[in-house]
C-alpha cells in the first residue's frame, strides 16, 4: 500500500483481514499459512533456476600469488592485482585473471569459459582466462585483464543482465497485471454489493490472484538462460530468446564458421622428375614465406631435406622465385608460370581446371623451367557441421545461406557439400550486410553466424547475431548469442533451447489463466469452493508453472547425446 501498487499481496491481505473480521478464523489462518508457505517454496525453487549465476560466482577466483619486487610471490586478494603483474598459478588453483603464460606448462580446464570440460594444454605464449582451473603443472602469467574486464567477469555480467531483462511477453503481463489486479478488487466489491455476502466477496479476492501468471514467464526465461550458460551458450536477454525461436533463415560466414579456418592441402599432382627432390626444393622456398598457403604446403610435405635459398624474389600476387642448390625454382599460381614461360601440358591444364572446380587455391612448383608439382589447398569443413545443419532444418530453419569473400567456386563447393540453400562469393562485409537486409525485407527472420570481428555489421543488422568466439571481447560485445568454444554443435542446442523456452512460456501462461478461470467459475457454480481450497489450488498452480519452467534446466535436443556433461557428473560449468 505504501508504494501504491495493487498487487497479489494486497488482495490476500484484504481477504485475510476480512475473514478475520467475520470471525472465520480457521480460513483466515489457513490462507495466511498457505500464502506464506507458498512464497517460501517459490523462493526455494526460483533460486534453483538461478543456479547458473550461483555456480559462476562461486567459481570466481578470490586470491592470487603476485610476484613482489624481490622476486618472491605473496598471496593477496584478487581485487589488488593490477595489469602487468606477474602471477604464479599452482596445480589445482584457479587462474585469477586473463593473461599470457610466461613460464611453465600445464593443462587447464576451461569449462567455466567454453563449457568444454576437456583440459587444454597451455605453454609459454598461450592465453589463459580467469576462473579456469590449472589441473596439473605450474605456470607464471602476466596479468592482461583484471576484475570485471576479464572474460569471466564479462560472462557473469552478461548472464546477470540477461536474467534480469524482460521480454515482450513479460512486459505485456506486467501491464496486464496492473489492470487485472484492481479489476479483481472491483469485481469482489460488485459481488458484495449484489449478494451482500462478505465471505463470497473475499473468496473471489483469493481466487482471482494472478500469481502463477506473473511468475510463469520469468521462471521460463531464467531457466532457459541458465541452461544455455551451462552449455557454453550465452543468450543475451529474454528478447533474444523470443526472436531466436522465430528464426527461419540462418546466414553463415564461411571461414572459421563452416570451415576450420586453417587451409590444408587437399589434392596433389606430380609431373615427372625426382619427386622427393622437387618437394625438398618446394619446401625450402616456402619456408621463406609467411603466407597461409606456404604454411599448408610445409605441413603437407613434413620432414624433408632443406636447401639453402639464394636470390629470392617475391612476385606480388603471384608467388616466389629463388635459386636452390643450383636450380631455378618458381613457386606460385598459374599466372606466374605463364609469365615465366613455363609450359603447362594438357594433363597439367586438366588438373588445374579440376582443382579449381573443387574450390582449391593452387600452388605450382617448377624446377629449371619444368612444372614438377601441383597442390590444391582449401579450407576444410568443420567436423560434424553437415549433421548439425540437418538438425537446424529439423528445427524449422528452411533457408541456409553462406556468404564469403572467397571465390565463387570455393563457396559453391562448400554449399554442395553441406546442402545449403544459397551460396554467394566475393562478398565484402558491407555486401553481406546488404544481403541480410534484403532477406529481412522479404519477411524472413534472419540469424547471422560469424566470427564477431570482420562481420560486426552483419551481426548487428541481423535479427539475431551469433558469434563463434572463444570468449573474445568483440564476439561477446557485438552479438546476441555467443557460442563460447566456437563449437558449431552448440548452435542446434541454442535454437532448440529457445524454441523450448518459448513453448514453456506459453504453457505457463495457459496454466495460470486456466486455473484462475476454473477457480472463479467454481465459486459461482459449485458448493465446495472456499478460501482455503482456492488458496491451496492457487499456490499449487504457482508451483506447477515453476516446476514446468525448471524442466528447461535439463533440456537437451531429443535423440542427440551431449558430450558436455554426463548424468552422473555434477555440473561444474556455467
pLDDT tens track for 243-284: 899 999 999 887 777 887 678 888 899 987 788 888 888 888
Closest CA to 418 of 247, 267, 249, 258: 258
Q: For residue 568, what pLDDT is reported?
A: 35
Q: For residue 263, what pLDDT is reported?
A: 80
Q: For residue 56, what pLDDT is reported?
A: 54
Q: What's the pLDDT band for 439 if we cut at 50, 70, 90?
A: very high
- Note whether residue 572 is domain-resident: no
- Note whether residue 122 is domain-resident: yes
Contact 436, 252 (CB under 8 A): no
Question: What digits encode the pLDDT tens for the residues 118-174?
Answer: 678 888 888 888 888 888 888 999 999 888 777 667 666 655 555 555 556 556 666
Q: What are phi and psi of 126, to 5 degrees?
A: -75, 150
For residue 492, pLDDT beyond 80? yes
Distance of alpha carbon 251 from alpha carbon 437, whole angstroms: 12
Q: For residue 158, what pLDDT is reported?
A: 58
Question: What digits encode the pLDDT tens for the residues 192-218?
Answer: 888 888 878 888 877 777 667 777 787
Q: For residue 47, what pLDDT is reported?
A: 63
Largest distance between two CA atoms of the chain: 114
Q: For residue 392, what pLDDT is reported?
A: 92
**Is beta strand 127-128 parallel, antiparallel or unpaired with respect to 133-145?**
unpaired
- 66-94 in b/e burial notation, b at 16+ Cβ within 10 A? beeeeeeeeeeebeebeeebbbbbeeebb
Q: For residue 44, what pLDDT is reported?
A: 67
- Note whether residue 535 is domain-resident: no
Number of domains in the chain: 2
CATH number of domain containing 305: 3.40.1110.10
Closest CA to 98 of 530, 529, 471: 471
Q: What's the pLDDT band for 563 if we cut at 50, 70, 90?
A: very low
Residue with cell 560485445: 477
Distance of alpha carbon 545 from alpha carbon 535, whole angstroms: 16
Q: For residue 569, what pLDDT is reported?
A: 39
- Residue 383 C-alpha cell reads as 567436423
Q: For residue 499, what pLDDT is reported?
A: 93
For residue 509, pLDDT beyond 80? yes
For residue 34, pLDDT beyond 80? no
Q: For residue 470, what pLDDT is reported?
A: 54
For residue 566, pLDDT beyond 50? no
Catalytic choice (85, 98, 243, 253): 253
Q: What's the pLDDT band for 425 if we cut at 50, 70, 90?
A: confident
| Beta-strand runs (E) in 368-413 | 370-381, 399-403
Taking the CB of residue 473, how many other CB atoms lie within 10 A of it? Answer: 15
Average pLDDT of the residues of the chain:
80
- Note whether residue 540 is domain-resident: no
Q: Which of 156, 173, 201 is a domain's end point?
A: 156
Distances (CA, A) of 478 to 162, 456, 467: 15, 6, 8
Answer left, alpha or beta for residue 433, where phi above 0 means left and psi between -120 and 50 means alpha: alpha
Question: In 3-state terms, what secondary structure has residue 281?
Answer: helix
Residue with cell 496486464: 176
Q: What's the pLDDT band for 185 if we cut at 50, 70, 90?
A: confident
Q: Which of 380, 408, 429 is a domain's end point?
A: 380
Q: For residue 311, what pLDDT is reported?
A: 86
Distance of alpha carbon 403 from alpha carbon 411, whole angstroms: 8
Distance of alpha carbon 415 from alpha carbon 353, whole angstroms: 19
- Note whether residue 315 is domain-resident: yes
For residue 79, pLDDT beyond 90? no
CATH number of domain containing 149: 2.70.150.10
- Note whether residue 278 is domain-resident: yes
- Note whether residue 367 is domain-resident: yes
- Note whether residue 1 is domain-resident: no
Question: What digits encode the pLDDT tens for the residues 101-121?
Answer: 999 988 888 766 654 556 788
Q: Which domain holds residue 119?
A: 58-156
Q: Which of 120, 135, 156 is a domain's end point?
A: 156
| Beta-strand runs (E) in 471-512 | 481-483
Q: For residue 155, what pLDDT is reported?
A: 64
**Sheet with 446-450, side-by-side order of all strands:** 233-235, 481-483, 464-468, 446-450, 249-253, 399-403, 422-424
473 is catalytic: no
Q: First and final CA of the chain: distance in angstroms? A: 39
Contact 191, 522 (CB under 8 A): no
Contact 552, 497 (CB under 8 A): yes
Residue with cell 596433389: 268
For the segment 23-52, the average pLDDT, to the nearest whole number, is 69
For the segment 517-524, the average pLDDT, to the nearest whole number, is 83
Q: What's the pLDDT band for 571 if we cut at 50, 70, 90?
A: very low
Distance of alpha carbon 383 from alpha carbon 388, whole angstroms: 10
Amino acid at each position: 500500500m505504501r508504494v501504491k501498487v495493487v498487487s497479489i499481496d494486497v488482495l490476500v491481505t484484504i481477504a485475510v483481514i476480512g475473514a478475520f473480521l467475520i470471525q472465520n478464523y480457521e480460513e483466515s489462518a489457513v490462507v495466511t499459512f498457505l500464502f506464506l508457505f507458498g512464497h517460501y517454496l517459490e523462493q526455494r525453487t526460483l533460486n534453483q533456476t538461478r543456479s547458473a549465476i550461483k555456480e559462476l560466482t562461486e567459481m570466481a577466483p578470490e586470491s592470487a600469488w603476485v610476484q613482489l619486487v624481490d622476486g618472491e610471490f605473496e598471496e593477496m586478494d584478487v581485487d589488488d592485482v593490477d595489469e602487468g603483474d606477474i602471477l604464479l598459478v599452482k596445480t589445482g588453483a584457479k587462474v585469477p585473471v586473463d593473461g599470457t603464460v610466461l613460464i611453465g606448462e600445464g593443462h587447464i580446464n576451461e569449462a567455466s569459459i567454453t563449457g568444454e570440460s576437456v583440459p587444454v594444454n597451455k605453454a609459454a605464449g598461450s592465453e589463459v582466462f580467469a576462473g579456469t582451473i590449472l589441473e596439473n603443472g605450474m605456470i607464471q602469467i602476466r596479468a592482461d585483464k583484471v576484475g570485471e574486464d576479464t572474460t569471466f567477469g564479462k560472462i557473469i555480467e552478461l548472464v546477470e543482465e540477461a536474467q534480469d531483462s524482460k521480454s515482450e511477453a513479460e512486459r505485456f503481463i506486467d501491464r496486464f497485471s496492473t489492470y487485472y489486479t484492481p479489476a479483481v478488487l472491483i469485481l469482489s466489491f460488485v459481488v458484495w454489493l449484489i449478494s451482500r455476502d462478505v465471505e463470497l466477496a473475499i473468496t473471489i479476492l483469493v481466487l482471482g490472484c494472478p500469481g502463477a501468471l506473473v511468475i510463469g514467464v520469468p521462471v521460463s526465461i531464467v531457466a532457459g538462460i541458465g541452461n544455455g550458460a551451462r552449455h557454453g551458450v550465452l543468450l543475451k536477454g529474454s528478447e533474444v530468446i523470443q526472436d531466436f525461436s522465430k528464426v527461419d533463415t540462418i546466414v553463415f560466414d564461411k571461414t572459421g564458421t563452416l570451415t576450420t579456418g586453417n587451409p590444408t592441402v587437399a589434392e596433389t599432382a606430380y609431373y615427372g622428375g625426382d619427386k622427393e627432390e622437387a618437394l625438398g626444393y618446394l619446401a625450402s622456398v616456402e619456408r621463406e614465406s609467411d603466407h597461409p598457403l606456404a604454411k599448408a604446403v610445409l605441413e603437407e610435405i613434413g620432414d624433408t631435406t632443406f636447401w639453402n635459398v639464394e636470390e629470392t624474389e617475391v612476385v606480388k600476387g603471384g608467388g616466389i622465385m629463388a635459386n636452390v642448390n643450383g636450380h631455378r625454382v618458381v613457386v606460385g599460381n598459374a599466372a606466374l608460370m605463364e609469365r615465366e614461360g613455363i609450359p603447362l601440358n594438357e594433363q597439367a591444364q586438366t588438373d588445374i581446371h579440376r582443382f579449381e572446380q573443387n574450390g582449391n587455391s593452387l600452388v605450382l612448383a617448377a624446377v629449371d623451367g619444368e612444372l614438377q608439382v601441383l597442390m590444391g589447398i582449401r579450407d576444410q569443413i568443420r567436423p560434424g557441421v553437415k549433421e548439425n545443419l540437418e538438425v537446424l532444418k529439423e528445427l524449422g530453419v528452411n533457408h541456409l545461406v553462406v556468404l564469403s569473400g572467397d571465390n565463387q567456386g570455393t563457396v559453391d563447393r562448400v554449399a554442395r557439400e553441406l546442402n545449403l540453400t544459397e551460396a554467394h562469393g566475393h562478398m565484402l562485409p558491407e555486401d553481406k550486410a546488404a544481403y541480410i537486409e534484403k532477406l529481412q525485407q522479404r519477411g524472413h527472420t534472419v540469424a547471422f553466424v560469424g566470427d564477431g570481428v570482420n562481420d560486426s555489421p552483419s551481426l548487428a543488422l541481423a535479427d539475431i547475431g551469433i558469434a563463434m568466439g572463444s570468449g573474445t571481447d568483440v564476439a561477446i560485445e557485438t552479438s546476441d548469442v555467443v557460442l563460447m568454444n566456437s563449437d558449431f554443435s552448440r548452435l542446434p542446442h541454442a535454437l532448440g533451447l529457445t524454441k523450448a523456452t518459448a513453448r514453456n512460456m506459453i504453457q505457463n501462461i495457459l496454466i495460470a489463466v486456466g486455473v484462475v478461470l476454473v477457480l472463479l467459475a467454481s465459486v459461482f457454480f459449485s458448493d465446495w469452493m472456499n478460501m482455503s481450497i482456492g488458496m491451496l489450488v492457487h499456490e499449487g498452480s504457482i508451483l506447477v508453472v515453476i516446476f514446468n519452467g525448471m524442466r528447461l534446466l535439463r533440456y537437451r535436443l531429443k535423440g542427440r547425446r551431449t558430450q558436455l556433461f554426463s548424468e552422473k557428473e555434477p555440473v561444474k560449468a556455467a
